[in-house]
Amino acid sequence: MFTTKNIEVTKDITLGVLKPRDAGEIFALIKANHDHLQRWLDFPEFTKEVNDTLKFIKDSVKKRKKGVGYDLSIRYQGKIVGLVGLNQIDSKNRIAEIGYWLVKSAEGNGIMTKSVSKLIDVVFDDPMVNRLELIRDVDNNKSGGVPERLGFMQEGKLRGYKVHNGVPRDFFIYSLLRSDPRP
Ligand SMILES: CC(C)(COP(=O)(O)OP(=O)(O)OC[C@H]1O[C@@H](n2cnc3c(N)ncnc32)[C@H](O)[C@@H]1OP(=O)(O)O)[C@@H](O)C(=O)NCCC(=O)NCCS
């Protein structure tokens, strides 16, 4: 699960362990996609300079070393178009939570569905994870499409679960168990 090698998803899509040298490329994407990402995620408003992205990458490396999560770049035809990873790993209960984003221009091609499908293979290769979770804002239907295409079960609504852009928001929670059938 904690592979340090790049993971090939298709001939065009590769998942890569984040490196400090990726900071400039990722920072430029976040700047250019600020409104697209800030609509659903918190980090763009805290990403003001390239050092903020560098710090995120360094923290991600530490998180990985501690075994509590990790982030991977998604490269499409060699260029980074988004990130996917495990926001947290609860090893006691064998649960990991998936998170992701794509730049606007890369949407609509199945890049995230294919990347998450591959991530699931990699994570379930490790017997220490039994349950994958994913949460998304009830209005973020594009995000919901990813777990729905991959056989996750929508388990329910988490009311007032996160304050986003100053407003308490409801979220749907999805899960996939190691024993669940996958499409
Ligand atoms: C959430 C997000 C990653 C979804 O992106 P996406 O492009 O819709 O997801 P995918 O890459 O899996 O592509 C699926 C789309 O490609 C289409 N598609 C084309 N070829 C496909 C293929 N081979 N396999 C799957 N889908 C395919 C699907 O029909 C779907 O399009 P539709 O939404 O019009 O039905 C993206 O909208 C995003 O990053 N948003 C901002 C940040 C965000 O919300 N992050 C998640 C927070 S929970």
Q: Ligand 1 centroid to 106 CA: how many Å? A: 9
Class of domain 7-130: alpha beta
Kindly list the domain boundaries of the chain, sorted by start residue: 7-130
Of 54, 65, 60, the C-alpha closest to 16 is 60
| Distance from the alpha carbon of residue 145 to the mean position of ligand 1, in angstroms | 7
Number of Cβ within 10 Å of residue 138's Cβ equals 14
Q: pTM for the complete prediction?
A: 0.98
Report how far apart, in Å, the C-alpha atoms of 31 and of each of 37, 47, 103 are: 10, 8, 10
8 A C-beta contact, residue 22 and residue 73 = yes
Q: 112 CA to middle of ligand 1, Å?
A: 6
> Which CA distances in Å does 119 have to 1, 77, 107?
9, 18, 18
Give the span between the Cα atoms of 172 and 136, in whole angstroms.
6
The per-residue pLDDT string of the chain (183 residues; one tens digit each, 9 = 90 and over) reads 887 899 999 999 999 999 999 999 999 999 999 999 999 999 999 999 999 999 999 999 999 999 999 999 999 999 999 999 999 999 999 999 999 999 999 999 999 999 999 999 999 999 999 999 999 999 999 999 999 999 999 999 999 999 999 999 999 999 999 999 999
Q: Which two tokens stand for residue 7?
A: 């993971």
Residue 132's DSSP bridge partners are: 96, 176
Q: Give the residue among 30, 142, 26, 17 at the shortest CA–CA distance from 69.
A: 17
CB of 142 within 6 A of ligand 1: the answer is yes
> Both tokens of residue 171?
């979220």
